[in-house]
Amino acid sequence: MATFIQLLVSGLATGAIYALIAVGFTLLWQTSQTINFAQGEFVMVPAFFILEAMYLGAPFWLAALIGIALSVLLLGLTFKLIIVDPMLKHGVLPLVISTIALSLFMKEMVKNLYSSQAQPFPALVAPYDFHILGAVISSQSLAVLAVAISAVVLLHLLLHKTRLGRAMQATAQNPTLARILGISVRRMVLYTFMINAVLCAIASILISPIYLAKFVNGETLGIAAFLAAIIGGFNQVRGAIVGGFLIGILDNLSAAYISSTYRAASPLLILIVIIMFRPQGLLGRVEERTV
Amino acid sequence: MNRFGALTLAIVLLAALVLPNFLKGYGIYLMSMWAVLSIAAMGLNLTLGYAGQVSLAQGAFVGIGAYTAALMMKAGVPYPLCFVSSGLVCFTIGWLLGYPALRVQHHYLAFVTLAFTTLVYLIFRNEEWLTGGTYGLSGIDRPSFFGLSTNGALGFFYFSFGIMVLLTAAAWWMLHSPWGRAFVALRENPVRALSLGLDTRRYTLMAFAIGSSIGGLAGAVFAPLVQYIEPLSFALDLSLNLLLMVIVGGSGFFFGPFVGALIAVLLPEWLRFIQGYYLICYAILVMAMMAFCPTGILGLVQRGVRLVAARRKAQQPTLLPERTSS
């Protein structure tokens, strides 16, 4: 029982990080039909911005802020304006290919300009173990959960309680109508790209102390986020959150109870089952195909 | 195909047959590699260029084909049987994988194949009793036919080139048969194909399964070419590279993958001097190409040819009756 609780908590912690990445992924899809294959690399890179800022003498909190700002600038604004915009007129496929090339580019840049070695990354809180019902729960897991959940709650408040958020939702649901109502669709889409960059940077800060900062991290993170988004429902923010937690918990439990060498396989199996029986995802809506 | 195309094809074929005689061992090896990668990329072109689905598992299928062929050859099975088995195994797996993924829209196949590639890599690495784990399989013999050994570099090039020509001819024939023309319809206008009564979902699945089996056949040639296979050769990198080959050459163009594979083989050799920065340049090239010419190099060529033709037409006196050329 104690081990189960331990696994559950650490699963929830990784799941919360996956959820953050998956939420950003679905936001991009909803507002601009962008399938970002570089999403995993978007999480891998901010850690190196932060490490570089710390190397230049900034304390951790300042470096983290610099990292988030740089992410918004490069992975949000620049990505949208230089890579996505010229591609949108060609349809979905060229953009998919382009983001695949972008992920290759980011991986190689980090490998060549920084290092191919895994870099230690400062933890958010001092290591301390809580003993609850015989289970050992690290302060690290709890901090990750707290930060990730507050990020999601803030995002929810932004999307549902503010005028700006409602405008963004209108853009996602019906761009033409939103435009008629006087919403600047272009700007709203740009905002979602910036929000995605912030979410990725936060995920980066949370995951890097656990996995260390390494140029190949993006692959597994990207796959986990895609799977979470599909399992939960591609067109729902709520779905991505549920999917993220589900993948995180299952990942941890199957690694412990089934096989640690095949931990990457269990999400794939769930994915196939979900696609067979509920192709729109657990919480997703069925989308109509238009000619 | 018009006269210009046939002539180009004949010249390329002749050059490919003659050129290796003037090359050293490594050059011939690269040409054999080109033949193998062309086969694999041609298979992927069916999925990507004709059915419009992104597959990130072509490298994994090359791996499955290579392991199947290598294990069977080591067990003493004659090569032609190993070759065919590789294709059949990959066809079956491709069908089983594509069946759930292609039931839904969007680019679900891309994600499913992405996860599949990771899974296949894990199996190659973990199932030591079968695949030799991280040590891989070494000492794979090159086949011989009717007393002719393909052990030498030149001999093996002609072998792999011959297989490439055979498979290319088979694919060409398939795409021009009444049954295969559906794939072209799928490429041109999937919605229209559907309203004309084509079961597009089944044809998409078929394109993926056949494409995967061609990947497996490429693997069956790859194994005796390198004579040593290990899990890392078939990780995500190979799948990504094959995908970029099809795109760079021109997806949906029959000969696009051959051009793409040639570039993928030659470019790293020419760009030796920039070393680690090679992939960065390649990635930038692909992104630029997607922004300005998503139809790849052959798309650029086609654009150029049309431009020249249009100019020539404009210069001709319009009094003469126009001859239609096919």
Q: Is A122 on the interface with B (CB under 8 A)?
A: no
pLDDT of residue A55: 92
3-state class (DSSP) for residue B272 = helix
Residue A112, chain B, CB below 8 Å: the answer is yes
- Note whether B267 contacts A: Cβ–Cβ < 8 A: no
Helix axes B200-226 and B181-188, enclosed angle (nearest 10): 110
Query: Of the ranges A18-22, A70-74, A281-285, B115-119, which one carries the lowest mean pLDDT score?
Result: A281-285
Top mean pLDDT of A53-62, A242-251, B86-95 is at: B86-95
Residue pair A245/A42 in contact (Cβ under 8 Å)? The answer is no
- pLDDT value for A101: 92
Closest residue to B111, CB basis, from A90, A98, A226:
A226
Please report residues of B whose CB lies closer than 8 A to that of A97.
Answer: 54, 243-244, 247, 286, 290, 294
Does the beta carbon of A93 lie under 8 angstroms from any beta carbon of chain B? Answer: yes
- Half-sphere exposure for A29 (CA within 13 Å, toward CB): 23
Min Cα distance B164 → chain A (Å) is 26
The reply to whether A219 touches chain B by the CB within 8 Å rule is yes
Asked if pLDDT for residue A27 goes beyond 70, the answer is: yes
Give the distance from residue A93's alpha carbon to the nearest chain B alpha carbon, in angstroms: 8
- Asked if residue B72 has pLDDT above 80, the reply is yes
pLDDT digits (tens, 9 = 90+) for A167-185: 998 888 888 889 999 888 8
The minimal CB distance from A264 to the residues B104, B118, B277 is found for B118
Taking only the tens place, the pLDDT of each residue in A96-132 is 889 999 999 999 999 988 888 888 998 888 888 888 7
pLDDT of res. B170? 95
What interhelical angle do B79-101 and B108-126 show, nearest 10? 130
pLDDT for the residue numbered B159: 93
Asked if B106's CB is within 8 angstroms of A234's CB, the reply is: yes
Residue B227 sits at φ, ψ, to 5 deg, of 65, 0
Question: In chain A, pLDDT over 70 holds for what percent of residues?
Answer: 98
* Test the A interface: residue of B54, B124, B287 with most A CBs within 10 Å: B287
Residue A13 is predicted with a pLDDT of 92
Question: pLDDT-based confidence at B139, cuts 50/70/90?
Answer: confident
Gap between the Cα atoms of A208 and A221, Å rounded = 11
pLDDT category at A290 given cuts 50, 70, 90 is: very low
Q: List Cα–Cα distances, A262 to A13, A268, B125, B236, in angstroms.
A: 21, 11, 10, 17
Identify whether the C-beta of residue A212 lies closer than 8 Å to the C-beta of residue A119: yes
For range A144-166, the mean pLDDT = 92
Furthest C-alpha separation in chain B? 77
Q: How far is B108 from chain A (nearest CA, A)?
A: 8
Q: Which pair of structure tokens corresponds to residue A151?
A: 């990020």
Question: What's residue A157's pLDDT?
Answer: 93
Average pLDDT, chain B: 88
Q: Chain B: give the shortest CA distance to residue A261, in Å.
A: 7
Question: Given pLDDT bands bounded at 50, 70 and 90, which one contains residue A289?
Answer: very low
From A17-21, B1-5, B239-243, the region with the lowest mean pLDDT? B1-5
B271 contacts chain A (CB < 8 A):
no
Nearest CA in chain A to B247: A97
Query: What six digits make up the tokens of A105?
Result: 């580019």
Backbone angles phi, psi at A136, to 5 degrees: -100, 120
Contact B280 A90 (CB under 8 A): no
pLDDT value at residue A291: 39
Mean pLDDT comparison of B192-196, B297-301, B312-316, highest-scoring range: B297-301
In terms of CA atoms, which chain B residue is nearest residue A277?
Answer: B100
Burial group, residue B275, by CB count within 10 angstroms (0-12, 13-18, 19+): exposed
What's the gap in Å between the CA of B256 and the closest CA on chain A?
16
What's the confidence (pLDDT) of residue A172? 86
**Interchain contact A227–B (C-beta under 8 A):** yes
Which range in B102-111, B185-194, B288-297 is most confidently predicted, on average pLDDT? B288-297
Phi then psi dihedrals of residue B229, to 5 deg: -120, 145
- What are chain B's domains? 20-277 (1.10.3470)
Res B1: pLDDT = 56
Rounded distance between C-alpha atoms, residue B185 and residue B127, angstroms: 42
Query: Chain A residues with CB inside 8 Å of B101's CB?
Result: 272, 275
Mean pLDDT, range B109-127, rounded to an integer = 88
Structure tokens at A133: 């019902």
* Contact list, A100 vs chain B (CB under 8 Å): 240, 243-244
Among A94-103, B63-72, B264-273, B312-321, the least confident range: B312-321
Are the beta carbons of B240 and A100 separated by less than 8 Å? yes
Mean of pLDDT values over B311-325: 63
In DSSP terms, A119 is beta-bridged to A213
CB neighbour list of residue B50: distance below 8 Å, 6 or more residues apart: B175, B183, B184, B186, B187, B207, B252
At residue A88 the predicted structure's pLDDT band, cuts being 50, 70 and 90, is confident
Q: What is the DSSP string of A100-163?
A: HHHHHHHHHHHHHHT-SS-B----SS---EEEETTEEEEHHHHHHHHHHHHHHHHHHHHHHHSH
- Cβ B286–A267 below 8 Å, yes or no? no
In the predicted model, is pLDDT for residue A278 greater than 90? no
Helix axis angle for B200-226 and B153-176, nearest 10°, is 170
Q: CA A146 → CA A139, A141, A142, A143, A152, distances in Å?
A: 10, 9, 6, 5, 10
Cross-chain residue pair A262–B107, CB shorter than 8 Å: no
- Whole-number average pLDDT of chain A: 88
CA distance B204 to chain A (A): 16
CB-CB contact of B79 with A251 (8 Å)? no
Q: Which residue has the higher pLDDT, B270 or B256?
A: B256
Window 152-211 of A, Cβ < 8 Å to B: none
ipTM of the complex: 0.84
* Rounded mean pLDDT, B47-62: 91
Question: Closest Cα of chain A to B116: distance in Å?
Answer: 7
Cβ–Cβ gap A105/B103 under 8 Å: no
How crowded is the C-beta side of B57, counted as CA atoms within 13 Å? 34
| Sign for the pseudo-dihedral over CA of A83, A86, A91, A93 | negative
State residue B186's pLDDT score: 83
Alpha helices, DSSP H, located in chain B: 3-18, 25-45, 58-74, 79-101, 108-126, 128-131, 153-176, 181-188, 190-195, 200-226, 236-249, 256-270, 278-292, 296-315
Q: What residues does each domain of chain A span?
A: 2-277
pLDDT above 90 as % of chain B: 43
Which residues face B144 on adjacent strands?
Answer: B149
The pTM of this model reads 0.87
Q: Which of A200-209, B2-11, B246-255 has the lowest mean pLDDT?
A: B2-11
> Quick one: pLDDT at residue B106?
60
* pLDDT reported for residue A63: 94
Taking residues A76-81, what's their average pLDDT? 93
Tell me the mean pLDDT in the region B167-179: 92
Cα separation of B212 and B313, whole Å?
A: 43
Residue B136 identity (one-letter amino acid): G
User: Of B104, B254, B314, B1, which Cα lies nearest the Cα of A274?
Assistant: B104
According to CATH, the topology of domain A2-277 is: ABC transporter involved in vitamin B12 uptake, BtuC (1.10.3470)
Q: CA A8, CA A22: separation in Å to the nearest integer?
A: 20
